[in-house]
Structure 1
Amino acid sequence: MYSVIFHFLSLLLSISLLAGCAGITKLEPQQAEPNSPEQLQTKPARKAPTNPLAYYHFLLSQVNLREGRLEEAVEEIKRAIAYDREDPLLRVELATLYIHKGLLDEAVEECQAALVHDPDHLSAHLILGGIYTSLKKSRLAIDSYRRAIQINPRHRESYLFLSSLYADEREYDQAIRVLQQFLKIEPESPVGLYYLGRIYAETKSYEKAKEHFLKALAIEPNMVIVLLDLGVTYEILNEPEKALEVYQKALNLDPSNRRARQRLGQIFIKKKNWDKALDQFLELQRFDPQDLDIRTKIGLIYMDQGKLDQAILEFNFVLAANPKNDRVRYYLGAAYAEKEAFAQALSEFSKIPAESDLFSDSRRSIVLILRKQNRIEEAIRTMEESIQAKPKDVDLYLILAALFEKENQLEKALATLKRGLEHQQEDPDLHFQLGAIYDKLGQFDQMVTEMKEVLRLNPAHADALNYLGYSYADRGIHLQEALELIQKAMALKPNMGYITDSLGWVYFNLGDYERAVVELEKANQLTPDDPIITEHLADVYSKLNRIEKAIQLYEKAQTLDPKPDQVERLKKKIEELKGKK
């Protein structure tokens, strides 16, 4: 973002120079600070050639330029130079005309010729800086602006351009030094303070960025661009209320500012304040009814509000203008699915092509709908065709394997995952799911082998760490290793109920019931509707001889849709505890 602003400002510089001005366009994002005459030149600027004939052709060039006759203007300046080849003013003027024509190499030659005769010609150095920036010759541009500062240490724009170039090159320390040097000269410059804040933001020093944005606004409160960047900084610092206030002020100053309104809308979305978010995006749509991104956001807000028909209308509008927008087509399919208009949902998901990033997601959605309609064979056929179309897509094998698993066709799930591994031998997710299927088939050693392979490929795979650790704990084996594995998983995913349950369960099997009850209570709070976690918590209370509490939790587990084997286990445990009372 910073480089985009910088190159835009460079273009402004070039345009100013093309107009033949001695100075350069102000870089201020809002209102310009006045320049004093001595700031623009270190010595009086000569505005016309001294040779009378050169001056005559110089004037003819100016007339032609004003009347839009660029070629004639160039020819007249060349005639002027023929009468006085050593006049740097004429060379600089010709350079500006060449820039008008897009002849940047020729413009560079003329500026260099001007500097042969006057090495301290400020405008020549500034034009060179702008051209080199446009040509992405950053080191040469840096040299030009550094020389301009040597010639005129009070020339504001040279500091700003130079700092921007250093930032563009990721030389942030240099950029900061340049701006600090400038602020010693003009300590009350809101533009200098703003630029320094931007550099600090680039280096993720957000508190310093905020400090400098606020200083700039204390001097010039109505700089909209500073308000916007301050708002983003507040968002990053997790101060959304302050960001809202700043964006609202920016809109009061500039009601048509799209960026401020979009940021406001995004904050309201994060706060799940759908009505206020919708207000902002509808206002943006009023300014530009053809903006498809805005219509997409409006459609998504309608979906979150449950206004599915309105969401569908917005998505269809976008697709009418851009039928190849796969993301919006996916949103449309999701809206139809949520509305239970399954035929339309299947139609939209099916239109997403294999080369799309959303291909596997669309196929997962198709499978969910077909399973809901008990069209299992069609779901399997859809996935087989999808795999044929995109055989290296790991997700497709995972989706098909999960489908077989849900249908209790575990051998087919196993075969599917092995097919996937033929194409992606070192994919940790395929190995993880393969291990889980082996576990369901009662092949414990093969499960362990696969989970260890996952951890070889990705030592930070939290689910594999947890799965292996829990499996050891549940069998009462390798308990110290199980503890270490689960603690690593906890460090990676600290607030996951199922991992916290595993930690409590390993403590339980170690006989450390006091620690077990602490972790299992946490797990129960994180995932209160899980029958296994609830049963584990009941088990530890049973060991602590808190019989009533244990019975209460076992009975709760019975209401949480336990699997058949757990149903029998819970019934037996309740009967045994009641027999002890």
Structure 2
Amino acid sequence: MSSRPTLALLAGCTLWVLPAFSPAQPTAPALGGESIPRVLELLAEDFAAHDAGVVSSVPPSARAEAAAAYAEGIQHLKNRDWTRALARFRQSATADPAQPLAPIHAALCLALTGQPDPARALLAEALQRQPRSPELLAASAALHSLASEWKSAASQAESSRARQPHLLANYHVLAQAALSQKQPARIRQLFTLSLQSTPPAPAPIHYTRLAALWAGLLPLDGKTTPSQALREVQPFLAKAEALDPGNIALQSQSGMVAFAAGDFALAATRLEEVHRARPHLAEVREKLALAYIQTARPAQAIPLVEAIIHDAPHRHGLHLALGELHGKTGQWDRAADAYAAYHQLGAPNAQTLFALAESQLNARRLDDALATIRGAQIKHPSVPAFAYLRALVLHLQERHGDALTAFVEAEALATPNYTAMLDRDFYFRKGLAAEYAKDDAAMEAAFKRCLALQPDDHETMNHLGYTWAERGVRLDEALKLIQRAVELDPDNGAYLDSLAWVYYQKGDAKRALPWILKAAAQLPDDPVILEHLGDIHAKAGQPDKARAAWTRALEKNPARADEIRQKLNPRT
């Protein structure tokens, strides 16, 4: 018996191989593809509520304008609206050139929008005015580190650290520089220095940030495990708790430490408690969603991501994350809606169009899927995955000849640059399409290609063998294939039925009978097996048993009522 499968839905399979991306700086997991280099996160956190202590000589009205623009820029920065933040920071820097934080944040926004050269130029100009500013040195070191200019980065970071040892971005840059220079022991030295430093006005947040930083950096020495790092940063957390016992924010930071160390299960446990107490804390909500994603808990992540989208609709990349999460939970209609929302807000590319079409296919919104694929193929005619996906949609629409044509197109496009797509599953699906299109030569070629790729592919052996047996052709070859399938999976009821059926088709009911009885024992309610059981009993001269089997087959499969009644009442 063949299971007669439809073409399997992709349900998240990747049909192409994308080039690996190796960032120069480590990035934390992020929602919607919005990963930010860790050093820039640290830089933003260092200066979010920082007072550089610079006395300005501009008029009070200019200072007020600079302060107001700077405060607006900080708010836009928190919302990840880099463009608006950049405009406000530039306004602030123009109004009061003596303050270093506005150009630092402007440079940060430039870097986050893919403009590293203007960012470095802006800081270089500011450093000419204030060459000893620890804030400007720290920011410049961070940007040099992003370009892997480790000598300049380390020099500036060390100068900044010597003046202000509480700026965390410096430790990150110096640790990365030590790694690039193959000096992992330097990481431990930097850890000790930071443990010994005390900021002018100690605050819990400083120590919890240090804990998070070193939980992530210590394992880079190649000797410290993430769990050991978590233990070693406990002194920082103890200092924080001593400054403010029972603070929910400290519990939040404990979760953040676990997150930074890659212990996402622990992070989720800690942050769940915080989220229950403070459901509107945006950073906690986002990190908790990410922790759920990293621990394969998409259902828990979905409502959090939806809430983030509600509060930050401009972050259109989150719709991609939401679509992926809905796909992982099998909610394909919602996945398709999420991807469609992204395309309304952002610029679609081949991968996002594929995700949309795949979700529409899995939701059985076949006309929508076909429309998406056709539009994608106009923009990306050389991507074979779209032809493959179109073949699956056409098959489900029972347009079998068109489906086979699409498979042929996909195979041609995938050769030679996308051969990873041409795996066993591709050829099995192509073989099914050819079978339904009644193209025997294409069917046989596709199934034989499956066996060439996976010589022990018993599913294909059974399917091809049963197809021949059902048609009463090439029965000796069919017998060999099915016998081998049964050897590989001896308790598979469908295979046992196939073996019985090929013997029946060869006219050997005696040899067929024990195999069909085994099949019926494995799958007692399968209508195909029951009908075969009746046929074989009849051929073996057992009419009463045949009638009993056919009667049960009729109960289980009303769609074949006419054929089965003809067997029960051959004169009617």
Alpha-carbon contact 2:11-2:327 (below 8 Å) kept: no
Match for residue 217 of structure 2?
A: 62
Q: Within 5 Å, give how 1:264-275 maps onto structure 2.
A: 264-275=430-441
Question: Deviations along 1:449-497, whole A, 9 cap, x unmatched?
Answer: xxxxxxxxxxxxxxxxxx9xxxxxxxxxxxxxxxxxxxxxxxxxxxxxx
1:308 matches 2:308: no
1:153 matches 2:308: no
* CA distance 1:125–1:221, change in 2 (3 Å): farther
> 2-side partners of 1:333 and 1:109: how far apart?
57
User: Which segment drifts farther, 289-298 or 52-61?
Assistant: 52-61
Q: Within 5 Å, give how 1:66-85 maps onto structure 2.
A: 67=223, 69-84=225-240
Question: What percentage of aligned pairs have identical amino acids?
Answer: 13
> 1-side partners of 2:224 and 2:446: how far apart?
44
1:312 Cα offset (Å): 0.8
Match for residue 244 of structure 1?
A: 407
TM-score (norm 2): 0.53
Match of 1:320 among 484, 487, 494: 487
Q: In the alignment, residue 236 of structure 1 is paired with which amino acid?
A: L
> 1-side partners of 2:260 and 2:509: how far apart?
64
1:295 Cα offset (Å): 1.7
* Superposed CA RMSD: 5.1
Alpha-carbon contact 1:42-1:152 (below 8 Å) kept: no
* CA distance 1:76–1:229, change in 2 (3 Å): farther
If asked which structure has higher relative contact order (CA below 8 Å, sep 6+), I would say 2
> 2-side partners of 1:221 and 1:146: how far apart?
37
Match of 1:260 among 396, 402, 426: 426
> 2-side partners of 1:201 and 1:99: how far apart?
36
1:205 Cα offset (Å): 3.7
Q: Within 5 Å, give how 1:515-534 maps onto structure 2.
A: none
Q: How many corresponding residue pairs?
A: 380
1:218 Cα offset (Å): 3.5
1:293 Cα offset (Å): 0.8
Alpha-carbon contact 1:92-1:124 (below 8 Å) kept: yes
SS in 1 for 2:519: coil
Alpha-carbon contact 2:500-2:515 (below 8 Å) kept: yes
Q: In the alignment, residue 94 of structure 1 is paired with which amino acid?
A: A
* CA distance 1:90–1:433, change in 2 (3 Å): closer
Question: Deviations along 1:361-409, whole A, 9 cap, x unmatched?
Answer: 3421222312xxxx4xx443x459xx6xxxxx772597xxxxxxxxxxx
Alpha-carbon contact 2:357-2:369 (below 8 Å) kept: yes
1:196 Cα offset (Å): 3.1
1:118 Cα offset (Å): 5.9
Alpha-carbon contact 2:384-2:413 (below 8 Å) kept: yes
Match for residue 526 of structure 1?
A: none
* CA distance 1:57–1:41, change in 2 (3 Å): closer
Match for residue 228 of structure 1?
A: 388
Match of 2:30 among 24, 32, 45: 24
Match for residue 127 of structure 2?
A: none
Q: In the alignment, residue 539 of structure 2 is paired with which amino acid?
A: I
Q: Within 5 Å, give how 1:494-509 maps onto structure 2.
A: none
Match for residue 115 of structure 2?
A: none
Question: Deviations along 1:229-273, whole A, 9 cap, x unmatched?
Answer: 222122234233542344324542225433322221112112332
Q: Within 5 Å, give how 1:59-458 maps onto structure 2.
A: 59=214, 61-64=216-219, 67=223, 69-84=225-240, 86=249, 91-95=255-259, 97=261, 99=263, 102-103=265-266, 105-106=268-269, 108-109=271-272, 112=275, 119-120=282-283, 123-124=286-287, 126-128=289-291, 130=293, 134=297, 136-137=299-300, 141-147=302-308, 150-151=311-312, 153-156=314-317, 158-165=318-325, 178-221=338-381, 223-237=383-397, 238=399, 239-249=402-412, 251-252=414-415, 253-254=418-419, 256-303=422-469, 304=471, 306-354=473-521, 356=523, 357-358=525-526, 360-370=530-540, 375=541, 378-380=542-544, 382=545, 395-396=551-552
TM-score (norm 1): 0.52
1:89 Cα offset (Å): 6.9
Question: Deviations along 1:288-327, whole A, 9 cap, x unmatched?
Answer: 2222212212323443472211111111111112221121
1:348 Cα offset (Å): 2.2
1:41 Cα offset (Å): 4.4
SS in 1 for 2:299: coil
* CA distance 1:98–1:241, change in 2 (3 Å): closer
SS in 2 for 1:295: helix
Alpha-carbon contact 2:79-2:312 (below 8 Å) kept: no
* CA distance 1:145–1:95, change in 2 (3 Å): farther
Alpha-carbon contact 1:41-1:122 (below 8 Å) kept: no
1:335 Cα offset (Å): 1.1
* CA distance 1:314–1:214, change in 2 (3 Å): same
1:208 Cα offset (Å): 2.6
> 2-side partners of 1:397 and 1:227: how far apart?
40
Q: In the alignment, residue 228 of structure 1 is paired with which amino acid?
A: Y
SS in 1 for 2:30: coil
1:127 Cα offset (Å): 1.0
Alpha-carbon contact 1:247-1:264 (below 8 Å) kept: no
1:147 Cα offset (Å): 0.7
Question: Deviations along 1:45-102, whole A, 9 cap, x unmatched?
Answer: 99985793353884365333655723213323444433446586764341354645x4
SS in 2 for 1:269: helix
> 1-side partners of 2:450 and 2:33: how far apart?
28
> 2-side partners of 1:365 and 1:132: how far apart?
52
Rg larger for: 1
* CA distance 1:155–1:97, change in 2 (3 Å): farther
* CA distance 1:84–1:246, change in 2 (3 Å): farther
Alpha-carbon contact 1:166-1:172 (below 8 Å) kept: yes
* CA distance 1:233–1:368, change in 2 (3 Å): same
SS in 2 for 1:290: coil
Q: In the alignment, residue 419 of structure 2 is paired with which amino acid?
A: D
* CA distance 1:104–1:144, change in 2 (3 Å): same
Alpha-carbon contact 1:126-1:145 (below 8 Å) kept: no
User: Which segment drifts farther, 279-288 or 352-361?
Assistant: 352-361
* CA distance 1:167–1:317, change in 2 (3 Å): closer
Match of 1:5 among 1, 12, 15: 12
